[in-house]
Structure 1
């Protein structure tokens, strides 16, 4: 029986550990927190998982909360008219809702990771509650056939060198501020459709609003992404959750008043329901070398960390776990050497590269042809639907998004179909 160590109990680490466990591998999982500590701690992300990523969970029968979590059937985009907030609340220049082919869902990672961790232990997995340092892995690497590093923050990440060719940004491109709330009203334009809402405020940042399942039931996430140094970059050092929410709402009232109108009665889900921070989007070398010569393989956002502006973090983690799981099982009893590690990462990069390209494009000021696409989606439902479904399969953006000629050809085709 092959022995595998997974360090880090997030979406990808737990999905791989549970998947390997179901295939008969002897798996040890290291987490720096217990399930209870995770469940009662601070929110960790703004996870919204689309159809393909959810299907990876279903394939492993890990979709424990599917019947309880809101079914997100649409993805909407609103754009504030540039400069309209100078004299008062902003006005909307664009507003539309695209339909998803398969619904998306968001389950607070405090709920999911705690539940999955307990399941792993109940099924006989070796769960070690200990923050791992490089020295620990040096020791463990001699006892395991494979060591996977899925802890995306802290000292271990430094083992994986930044890949400058795939990492155009060296500084954070957004300041992030998250609030989990109860009491958000429906969008009056589509009161019966659960949707993720992407509100773009040119030159300022973005507000994302999405339904979720949290420790206290159904809730909504309010998530600001502010351009560093701009008017949304005000959360640094704010420790009081009530002050964090108050700031969030003040900014909504000015920059996205159509969302603020349904948020006047919100309250935080719990004292741990806020999060703020920033990080530079980075792609890293997937193989880490330990002081004693052993090799470890980086997983998910250890090796590909994108800004959350396109909501891909949990989706990418699920897809990475599925790709790595297949590579491990297919490899049989052959050694997990450096060549295998690089091939395994390349298999994941085949899909991840599209996420990175799209995310980095969305962080930059949009060129005219992309503004035309987003505007046309308000008149042509198929364009709105295609844009929305790109969140599930970002590789489709290659076909109509990046190049002005392809975008124009697609809009001509879509307009003709609309007229017909």
Structure 2
């Protein structure tokens, strides 16, 4: 069989590496060289949870296994006069490495293992259809640009027609890690969130400061300002915003050193949460499957995009390995629906979190602030989005989750 994979994000690379292990012939198409990935601006700030790290072990990827890149704790704070705060320990430490370093390294690893990499820009559906004639099946993992038009929005699975958060952030020096070391998130009702995970980048250990602004809220002016030619202004505005809305984060900042690590280390934009149709007919007997961001774009608030992309890549690799018939409409429909069963809890949980907070969410956060057992169970759910969705989908489910967390820990 011959599989074409379009896109060298985590979904495309994990799929290519896994198929290579299975002895399945695949070609990876990417428009960028590894050095081009490294030199560009960040497109995201990814934290890879324990399950993704286990899949990396299965792939024989060891470059980012060092504990020096670990984030074992999550600190959460709901800001305000009666704010809540708690911290929880992940069952397995997460890893936070600049994704430009990570993806470039995986692309080089695939090449070193004699994987087929083709430098080609696939700019539209017509070019995609032409490429399909060279393979039995195309898998599209490139989530930005014109190719997403090949997979139209699925309105039944996409409740948000517009971005629920506008993003601005960067990699900063001058921020002391929290104690114990890990990630922090400051939630400001009606305004948005400020993420501040410890991160490993080109200049060593830095801190991501990512502002997620609710449109029209108090963070919107900062998120909507163009900082591309005024990165020093972003540091000033971010510090003022943090001073006003996240004073405990401000306590960890040395204002004299607080600055972007490099001018290129700035991210601005917005993510429209969307699920697209998972497969497309490209003419004749050729079809394309969508994975990763080409299929599902989640708001980064719950930190699930890359982790889900890796999980679906492994699931698709298993389906491709086991399949013996043609890659026709029936195969694509079945594969997409099987992967949707994995993806749906992630999508539903994220959509709930970025919408108007339901009462059970407040109850869960209050229980976590009052009881370390609940806090650890909640934070542990970051790597179990299916369980997290079950925990928040209704008040009754939340009550059960809280009671279960308390009983399990108290019995130890």
Give the TM-score taking structure 1 as reference length: 0.91
Mapped contact 1:11–1:314 kept (Cα < 8 A) = yes
Q: CA distance change for structure 1 residues 30 and 245 in 2, over 3 Å: closer, same or farther?
A: farther
Equivalent pairs, count: 405
Cα deviation for residue 183 of structure 1 reads 3.0
Match runs of 1:14-413 below 5 Å: 14-67=13-66, 69-81=68-80, 84=81, 93-133=83-123, 134-187=125-178, 191=179, 193-233=180-220, 234-236=222-224, 237-239=226-228, 240-264=230-254, 265-290=257-282, 294-331=286-323, 333-412=324-403
SS at match of 1:47: coil
* Cα deviations by residue, 1:114-151 (Å, 9 ceiling, x for unpaired): 11111222222222222202222222211111111110
The Cα RMSD (Å) is 1.9
Deviation per CA, 1:240-289, whole angstroms, max 9, x where unpaired? 32222322222111111110221233322222211010121001111122
- Measure how far apart 1:399 and its partner are: 3.8
How far apart, in 2, do the equivalents of 1:411 and 1:393 lie?
16
TM-fit CA distance, 1:302 = 1.1
Segments of 5+ residues of structure 2 without an aligned counterpart are: none
Give the distance between the partners of 1:397 and 1:379, measured in 2 at CA: 19
The Cα shift of 1:97 comes to: 0.4
TM-score, length-scaled by structure 2: 0.93
Pair 102,419 (structure 1): closer, same or farther in 2 beyond 3 Å? closer
Do the aligned partners of 2:140 and 2:290 also contact (CA within 8 Å) in 1? yes
Shift of 1:293: 6.1
Distance in 2 between residues matched to 1:243 and 1:39, nearest whole Å: 24
Structure 1 residues 413 and 348, CA, compared in 2 at 3 Å: closer, same or farther?
closer
- Supply the distance in 2 between the matched residues of 1:415 and 1:329 (Cα, whole angstroms): 42
Deviation of the 1:400 alpha carbon: 2.9
Q: Distance in 2 between matches of 1:38 and 1:69?
A: 23
**Which has a greater percent of helix?**
2
Aligned-pair CA distance for 1:68 = 5.9
Q: Give the Å deviation of 1:291.
A: 5.3
How far, CA to CA, are the matches of 1:64 and 1:324 in structure 2?
24
